[in-house]
Amino acid sequence: MTNFALDAYLRRIGHRGPVASDLATLAALHAAHVAAIPFEGLDPFLRRPVNLDLAAIEAKLVGGRRGGYCFEQNALFKAALEAIGFRTVGLAARPRWNAAPDAPLGPKTHMLLSVETPEGARLADVGYGACLSETPFEFAVGKEQTTPSGVFRLSQSEGLFRLEARRGEGWRTLYAFDLAPQLPADYALASWFTSTHPAAAHVVNLVLERLEAGCRHKIVNRRYWTEGRDGIVESQRGIDNGADLARLLDEVFDVTPPAPAEEIFARTTE
């Protein structure tokens, strides 16, 4: 990773302290990343190609005023961590956030990371746009892990880990995964499916999310809302028109869209 522009990345996420391959650095960068670089699926939604070449990701997410989805976000985070000296393994997960509990498992269309620290391996994920976390997790099955935005836990069954978030009186599964390392070709195929299939979530829905100081900002199509701890909705409203969407993109998500906001709004549904 000698060609990775680490200083530019650290400036982009607003990290000004020292860095080392330790848990404190991993936690600080994880929180800073999700606050500074929003999850956004504008390119798939606009039927624009998603380039997973690292130079293209750096140009978009670091050099440009853009975010991205999981393959871009976690590839960037992986490169930054490796430039610091961390050992990382890229993993893949099967999203479950919108699936019924008894629905069959879907394809591996999410990227996440296993990161080695002196305190042991941690699950790092700065790119799950349904429920971002600001904190890397221990690989400790059954242990409730508290973050500023809520409580999470790992469960395990049928050879798979499941990351779950507490919602109200119950738990909701983010995704299921194993520890099999993934190749860049695996991510290229999954990203192509995710960004081009006519029924893929980010092709048919406008989705953005940003997480800072325990407050979760979300857009899905023509609805904007904020959440507090454990997903409790604190405010919500409709998005009235392209000008309204443009203000949210600029002032809340810190994104300059690749197309006029009016065009993006016109593609959305209620």
Q: Give the pLDDT confidence score for residue 214 in this predicted structure.
A: 81
pTM, two decimals, is: 0.96
The residues with which 208 forms a beta bridge, in sequence order, are: 40, 219
What pLDDT digit, counting tens, does each position of 206-220 carry? 999 999 888 999 999
Q: Give the pLDDT confidence score for residue 2 in this predicted structure.
A: 59
Q: Give the pLDDT confidence score for residue 11 in this predicted structure.
A: 98
Residue 1, pLDDT above cutoff 60: no
Q: Is the Cβ–Cβ distance between 240 and 268 less than 8 Å? A: no
Q: How far apart are CA 37 and CA 32, in angstroms?
A: 8
Confidence label for 168 from pLDDT (cuts 50, 70 and 90): confident
What pLDDT digit, counting tens, does each position of 59-72 carry? 999 999 999 999 99
CB-facing half-sphere around the CA of 148: CA atoms within 13 A: 17
Burial class from Cβ neighbours inside 10 Å (0-12, 13-18, 19+) for residue 269 reads exposed
Burial class from Cβ neighbours inside 10 Å (0-12, 13-18, 19+) for residue 270 reads exposed
Q: How far apart are CA 221 and CA 50, in angstroms?
A: 20
| Residue 52, both tokens | 């997973």
**Hey, is 209 helix, strand or coil?**
strand
Burial class from Cβ neighbours inside 10 Å (0-12, 13-18, 19+) for residue 176 reads buried
| Residue 41, both tokens | 């699926």
**Hey, is 218 helix, strand or coil?**
strand
Q: Give the pLDDT confidence score for residue 71 in this predicted structure.
A: 98
Catalytic sites, residue numbers: 70, 110, 125
What pLDDT digit, counting tens, does each position of 5-56 carry? 999 999 999 999 899 999 999 999 999 999 999 999 999 999 999 999 999 9
Q: Which residues contact 261 (CB under 8 A, 6 or more apart)?
A: 242, 243, 245, 246, 249
**Hey, is 144 helix, strand or coil?**
coil
Q: What's the mean pLDDT in 104-130?
A: 97
Architecture of domain 6-267: 2-Layer Sandwich (3.30)
Q: Is the Cβ–Cβ distance between 34 and 211 less than 8 Å? A: yes
What pLDDT digit, counting tens, does each position of 252-264 carry? 999 999 999 999 9
Strands, E assignment, 133-229: 137-138, 145-147, 150-157, 160-167, 170-177, 207-212, 215-220, 223-227
The total number of residues written for the chain in this structure = 270
Kind and range of the H or E element at 29?
helix 23-36
Enumerate the domain spans of the chain: 6-267
